[in-house]
A and B are shown apart, each in its own frame.
Chain A
Amino acid sequence: MIRTALKTAFAHKLRLVLTALSVMIGVAFVAGTYIFTDTIDKTFSQMYDNIYAGQDVIVQSASEFDVGFSGPPPMDESVLDTVLSVPGVAAAEGGVGGFAIIYDKEDKAIVPTGPPTIGGSMTGDLRLSGNIGLRDGRVPTAPNEVAIDARTADDHDLHVGDVVKVQTPEKVAEYEIVATLRFGDSDNLSGATWAGFDLKTAQELFGLQGQYSTISVVAEDGTSAGILRNSIAAALPAGIEAVTAADESASQSQALSESLGFLNTALLVFAAVSVFVASFIIQNTFRIIVRQRQKELALLRAVGATGTQVIWMVVIEALLVALVASILGIALGFVIARGLTAVMGAIGFDMPSTAAPLAMRTIVVALSVGVIVTLAAAVLPAIRASRIPPVAALQDVDVRLRMSDRKRTIIGSIVLAVGLALVVDGLFGYVVALGPLNELSAVGVGALLVFLAVSLLSSRVVKPVARTLGWPLPRLDNLTGTLAIENTTRKPRRTATTASALMIGLALVGFFFVLGSSIKASASAAIEKGLRADYVLSVNGFSGGFSPLLGETISKAPEIAAVSALRFGYWDNNGTEDFVMGIDIDTVEQTIELGVVDGSIAALADGGVFVQKDIADNEGWTVGDTVPMGLATTGLQQMPIVGIYTEAAVVQSNYLIGMDTYKANFEGFGTDVDYVLAVKAADGVSPEASRAVVEAAAADYPNVEVRDQTEYRKSQAAQVDTILVMFNALLALAVIIAMVGITNTLALSVFERTREIGLLRAVGMTRGQIRRMIRWEAIIVAVIGALLGVVLGLFFGVVVTSALSSQGIDVLSIPTGQIIGLVLFGVVAGLLAAILPARRAAKLNILESIAYE
């Protein structure tokens, strides 16, 4: 039986390949996601290994938590003497680090999108410098000297001896490049730009005079890092900790990996969509195959094969497809990982690309996904195959083995109801308690069930929809059009399943279109309402700040009435990462309409927090309550709520604190820069004049964009568009799988209709007409899929948007152009999917076709 199955499988190579292709792409996405995130993990752990190489113990302020590249708060220089006095310490040196942007020869800021722009002090003792090595030049020793990473130097044609500007929190100044640096085996720190100064200069530039961020310690020979750590720790004052370099490296890279964990999850969700779509294709293919092989299977039954043996035949073919596809899929995963790197790069996250490792976990997960999904999809067709009666071999009867329409409708309706209930409950949370499912998974599972249900139910509408859609065809293209419509409606379930596969991808695209458009419209309206300032200064992209000197300079100009800065900080919100904005209490009201509904901004001066109204309502907080906030420097603080506000679009944070409170609690690396400056011009100053002043001040800070209100609104919309592009790029794979599905179904249908095509050719249909007929058929199927997708996408978009209205997304916006574009995309998808089957059909030999059984 196994041999029979294998023989049949290989006898239909094209079918095998096309079926395998859909599984393969889905598996490749899963494998690619793991390879991609593993690559990132590996890069970061290598980076930290490099940073701490050669060191034994690190002394630093104990901080609540580390987030990404942010560092610990500084400590007093005197700690170094304490450390040096501990027996077993061979060498120790303090160092500081912080924000630093190198400018190129044209005075443009070199700002990689994603990785940070940082700098630090360079140690004189090479044992303490980790893997930082000189490629050429020498360690900086004077206040006007800088060492830069070799990648930045190479990319921007900078050499030892050149003079460049560097922006640090305390000043923008010119420095002579005295060295280019390598970090272990790489020319930079995972994409970050790095500027090194001598210790004294670095302390001044980062505003850390008399302070160190960290102290690196090398143990004497024969003293283990762990023991030395213990003895140093015993000598340290409170609030300062000692950790082994190995532990620090591991915890830093783990923290970074965890902060990128969402990426893995998000990508796997998209991969799951692809796999789900692929399962439709597999199921459809096997159903068609079983139908086409009805006579053959019946003959096997007639000569004594049991029903179970027939099931095994189909299952073994499925298994074969699954294995071949999964193995190829894992290989293709490397390509997908590259693609993901490109997608992230395209939207502004430069990802370092070291050799991508293939973990055992990746192989196991990818193989299991491929095999389980394929087998699950083939089970129903296999059972159906086993029910073919032996008599079918002898009679030319079309044995009906499918579920009745009635049964299908009932099951479809039930699945639809459950799916909708889950979606609604997940979004609004008032139907039933969800038990183990959280809201997001409830919405996800619900959406999945809705897709399944629509695919089950849509076979009922295929006929009328195809006829309606195809209405112009017979007029456009007479008979080929008519035949195309008839062909799509003669097997409504096949058409429905094929179209549904396309529906899923396009529904999600449509959903993101509606959601994105609504977010843009809501943000735009909110900014219009909330922004009193004439100009907003910020760094392009998703993160990154600039020196506070800029704000100081602008505020001195007589044309300017007020400058208000926003600073950004992470805090520990009961185990999850949240963020808070530090605001300038004196000027914020002149530049931002906070929509204070309770309390007063002046009260922030005493160290309390303002909470966004929706959060406060959800938590039941009012002025006078306290919020437990885990803050970087000071640990857990019971912050009193001194006000409630409604604005969210400009401050982009649900928690606001005064700038003094911010400085007291967020001292250290990455917190000494402004993220946003809101600038209000003085009364009577012309826009040209005020803009000129702001632009002139910002000229020294080329990483900063100056935008007026309109430009700022557009830039916010552009950020949403960027994310939309990424999501759609990720959904592209699901859409491609669906297109492969259309191709596969059409190819199998062409095969099934060989005699019919032969007859049409005999009585005078040209090859061109045959091709057009198949093309129209593909377009109809694809457009049905696109329309179903658009309807579902609109539905999900509207529902989710209304569920998010309390989160500031209170304007529903339907992007008509994009939605129409989706349907047109269906036409193109159909055309592309039809290329191969149409060619195949047109090439059929007339005589062989007519004689074909």
Chain B
Amino acid sequence: MTTVETPTRLAARIEDAYKIYGEGHTEVRALNGVSAEFETGVFTAIMGPSGSGKSTLLHCVAGLDELTSGKVFIGDTELGPLSDKDLTLLRRKKVGFVFQAFNLIPTLNARENVLLPLLIAGEDHDEAWFDQIVDILGLADRLSHRPSELSGGQQQRVAAARALVSRPAIVFADEPSGNLDSKSAAELLDFMRRAVKEFGQTIVMVTHDPVAASYADRVVFLEDGKVVDELDDPTPDSVIDRMRTFGG
């Protein structure tokens, strides 16, 4: 398979980011001076306890939410100055999403859901690439089914296929395996890792599950809106060990 040509290039980065809700006594700093880089072709997991700001970080880097201050880049494009429309087009072309639940449009069948970003853009798709993804995910015989006729695992795999189909610069996954049984979760995470290894895809995933995190190349730990640690080549045990130190 293709190897990554410029492994050190950054798919996305966030600099000195603050996200503050409320004012005065009710002020909450969801991000409190976060800086992080997400290299192309790397599977990064973001971990941290509830309220650590990990989802906020993901949303801000993905262009779904705005920072109070600081900068976010997807590739070389800074998101801050973009209009809502440009941001939308950037998400459409450069970003893929897998959410924890409700990833699919119920009125569209699996095939249409996979192709959703391209259909929205009115663009043609690469049939060979589509077949390849669908084949790997074992969705080939489910394509004409609607989401209500798919299992939870199948639904999340359709979402994963959708995230990859437009070859985005980066894929964001928010607890993608959170609602799945362990077998389905393993299948999904395994596929995500293959996408990184075999196709050079960049993935950033938020999770609270050490097992899920262990599929990543690298884990970024967040606490109280700050990056507190990083771990390369994580295993479930090393992640759990690191997690124990939180809150203490």
Interface residues in chain A, defined as those with a beta carbon under 8 Å from any beta carbon in chain B: 478-479, 482-483, 486-487, 490, 755-756, 759-769, 846-847, 850
Contact = CB atoms under 8 A, between A and B. Distances in A.
A483 B105 contact: yes
A763 B106 contact: no
Contacts of B89: 764, 766
Contact of A765 (B88, B97, B104, B106): B88
**Of B92, B93, B120, which is in contact with the most chain A CB atoms at under 10 Å from its CB?**
B120
Contacts of B120: 479, 760, 763-765, 769
Given A759-B99, A764-B121, 5 more contacts: A490-B106, A764-B88, A764-B93, A765-B88, A767-B88
Contacts of B84: 767
B16 interface: no
Contacts of A766: 85, 88-89
Nearest to B59: A847
A interface, by DSSP: helix, strand, loop or mixed?
A: helix
A762 B92 CA distance: 8
A850 B105 contact: no
Given A478-B122, A846-B64, A847-B64, A761 B108 contact: no
Contact of A486 (B59, B108, B117, B121): B108
A478 B120 CA distance: 8
B198 interface: no
B231 to A, nearest CB: 28
B132 to A, nearest CB: 20
20 contacts: A482-B108, A482-B112, A482-B119, A483-B107, A486-B108, A759-B104, A759-B105, A760-B116, A760-B120, A761-B88, A762-B64, A762-B99, A763-B96, A763-B97, A764-B95, A764-B117, A764-B121, A766-B85, A767-B85, A847-B64
B88 A755 contact: no
B218 interface: no
A523 to B, nearest CB: 52
Contact of B107 (A486, A762, A763): A486
Contacts of A769: 120
Contacts of B65: 847
Interface in B110-128: 112, 116-117, 119-122
A487 B59 contact: no
Nearest to B86: A766
B117 A763 contact: yes
B105 A760 contact: yes
A617 B100 CA distance: 80
A756 B106 contact: yes
A763 B64 contact: no
Contacts of A486: 107-108
B36 to A, nearest CB: 20
A763 B159 CA distance: 11
B157 interface: no
Nearest to A766: B88
A763 B162 contact: yes
B103 interface: yes
A756 B107 CA distance: 10
B122 A479 contact: yes
Contacts of A755: 102
Contacts of B104: 759
B91 A763 contact: yes
Contacts of B122: 478-479
Nearest to A758: B102
Nearest to A398: B148
Nearest to A764: B92
B119 A478 contact: yes
A284 B162 CA distance: 36
A762 B97 contact: yes
A847 B120 CA distance: 19
Contacts of A850: 99, 102
A303 B107 CA distance: 34
B173 to A, nearest CB: 12
Contacts of A478: 119, 122
A763 B102 contact: no
A524 B164 CA distance: 70
B121 A756 contact: no
Contacts of B107: 483, 486-487, 490
A395 B103 CA distance: 20
A397 to B, nearest CB: 12
A768 B120 CA distance: 12
Nearest to A486: B107
Contacts of B99: 759, 762, 850
**Of A487, A755, A756, A763, which is in contact with the most chain B CB atoms at under 10 Å from its CB?**
A763
Contacts of B117: 763-764
A847 B99 CA distance: 11
A527 B121 CA distance: 62
A479 B59 contact: no
B108 A483 contact: yes
A479 B116 CA distance: 8
A272 to B, nearest CB: 38
A759 B85 contact: no
**Of A479, A755, A756, which is in contact with the most chain B CB atoms at under 10 Å from its CB?**
A479
Top 6 A-B pairs, shortest CB-CB distance: A764-B92, A486-B107, A479-B119, A766-B88, A478-B122, A755-B102
